[in-house]
């Protein structure tokens, strides 16, 4: 159906693409909010993990990524622009060739826009669409960001959709090593408030 709509509106491609994207999101939310209230089941699955850090905490995030390299390498990584580039440049000792270095994340991070240029909003949209299961966001809470509204919107969506979410290293370490990650009986619950809001009566 969406392909048919796109074909019929091919004379206005910008409108067509935007309309179809909104329809896909709407259809996804309808299916997600009308179900059992359960979302992602970890059970050792490969997760989509988003990594974000403000400039004042980028080195801290890089240190955390290096420390958890073995675990993170098992998952699909997304990051805002500069943070993603720096993660791809991380080097560690090459276990296969002693005395040399290797870049374990080279070409393995999907880099979105820089946070202030829309990257935070891109990740927020992916959370709302169920495409991100964990967000590690090392915020610099000592300064007000120029894109503070985007930061607030991203953290709000992470909380609203009940994904695994950490803003400091200790919590991030505990999330990544939690026994629930491999528990087949543990499922992320989608809060009832989402379904209630999506299906609210406006009459």
| Rounded CA separation 138/73 (Å) | 19
| Rounded CA separation 67/76 (Å) | 17
Instruction: Please enumerate in sequence order all residues whose Cβ is within 8 A of that of 74, keeping only pairs 6 or more positions apart, or say none.
Output: 46
Write phi, then psi, for 166 (nearest 5 degrees): -135, 140
Concatenating the DSSP letter of every residue in 150-189 gives: HHHHHHHHHHHTT-EEESSHHHHHHHHT-GGGG-TT-EEE
Nearest partner of 147 among 113, 172, 173, 179, judged by Cα? 113
Mark whether 120 is an active-site residue: yes
Confirm if 25 and 2 have CB atoms less than 8 A apart: no
The active-site residue out of 55, 93, 120, 201 is: 120
Q: Would you name the residues annotated as active-site residues?
A: 120
């Amino acid at each position: 159906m969406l392909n048919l709509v796109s074909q019929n509106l091919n004379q206005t491609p910008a409108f067509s693409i935007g309309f179809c994207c909104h329809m896909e999101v709407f259809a996804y939310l309808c299916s997600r909010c009308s179900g059992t209230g359960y979302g992602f089941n970890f059970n050792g699955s490969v997760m989509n993990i988003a990594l974000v850090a403000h400039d004042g905490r980028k080195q801290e995030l890089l240190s955390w990524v290096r420390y958890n390299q073995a675990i993170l390498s098992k998952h699909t990584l997304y990051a805002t622009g500069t943070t993603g580039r720096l993660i791809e440049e991380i080097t560690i000792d090459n276990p296969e060739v002693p005395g040399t270095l290797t870049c374990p994340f080279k070409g393995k991070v999907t880099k979105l826009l820089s946070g202030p240029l829309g990257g935070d909003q891109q990740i927020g949209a992916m959370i709302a669409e169920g495409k991100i299961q964990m967000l590690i966001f090392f915020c610099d809470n000592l300064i007000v960001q120029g894109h503070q509204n985007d930061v607030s919107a991203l953290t709000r969506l992470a909380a609203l959709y009940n994904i695994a979410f950490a803003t400091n290293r200790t919590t991030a370490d505990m999330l990544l090593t939690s026994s629930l990650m491999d528990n087949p009986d543990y499922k992320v619950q989608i809060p009832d408030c989402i379904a209630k809001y999506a299906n609210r009566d406006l009459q």
